[in-house]
Amino acid sequence: MDVYGLIGNPVGYSLSPPMHEAAYEALEVDARYVTFEPPADAAAAAVESAATLGVAGLNVTIPFKQGVLDAVEPDPLAARIGAVNTIDFTGERVTGHNTDAAGAVRAFDEHGVSLSGTAVVVGAGGAGRAIAFGLADEGMAVRVANRTESKARDLAADLRGAGESAADATGHGLDALADLLADADVLVNATSVGMESDGTPVPAGALHGDLSVLDAVYRPVETRLLRDAAAAGATTVDGAWMLLYQGVDAFERWTGREAPVDRMNEALRSRL
């Protein structure tokens, strides 16, 4: 039996176990998905312990996404993002990956959204970094808006990088959102605003029908931002789709099999 799992602190809230267990059952994979909650300062030790125990793969959540970098060989995307949320122990080396970027891209694809033109990403934290890199790699111009403008500018500079593949990216404060959204094609909320209260980081009046809007918040599934976007005629994508597809990407990486997306989605949404 293969063992996969999640390290985080805390992990009791996670919806990854039922989602992955549903996939194993659907495909009759002899595997289990378990959770580990090591001390917050024990990221590297947790990875080493998992390898010793013969764990085949790990998902990684707060506060370990940066800390595990020193214990794995990150792929180029994870290294650029500066965070790992998926670890693979099945090769000659322990490798680290970031499936948050793929999760966002595949969530938009699920809704038929063409990732071309200009994207506005609100938030320059871990989720914002991953999503911004994912959209930039799809060829989008990325405008980062953040409460602390200097962090948005820093992320934009990382996105631009160097050489011919440099992204078209700029950083701004939240007060620039109305102007940024006027001609934008995609909007992503990568902050936690809307999770604990009925709030939104985006003025409703700045939304319009030519936008496709993803809110990375998945509890609640229908946030105020998504309600405002729907009222403006925009295409809306709830955060559960991103959560689903980052899990799908991890499952397919670990097992080499096509994930039963419908079964995983059913298991996920039944618990939201």
Distance CA 184, CA 207 (A): 10
Task: Report the distance separating Cα 205 and Cα 228, nearest Å.
Answer: 9
Q: Which residue in the list 20, 65, 97, 129 is annotated as catalytic?
A: 65
- H/E segment holding residue 166: none
Kind and range of the H or E element at 137? helix 126-137
Rounded (10°) CA dihedral 53, 83, 238, 259: -40
Instruction: Examine the residue annotation and report whether 151 is marked as an active-site residue of this protein.
Output: no
Which distant-in-sequence residues (6+ apart) come within 8 Å of 175 by Cβ? none
Other CB atoms within a 10 A radius of the CB of residue 26 amount to 16
| Residues pairing with 169 in the sheet | 142
Find out whether 119 and 186 touch, Cβ atoms under 8 Å: yes
Quick count: other Cβ atoms within 10 Å of Cβ 3?
15
Burial of 147 (0-12, 13-18, 19+ CB in 10 A): middle
Q: What are phi and psi of 171, to 5 degrees?
A: -115, 145
> Could you list the active site residues?
65
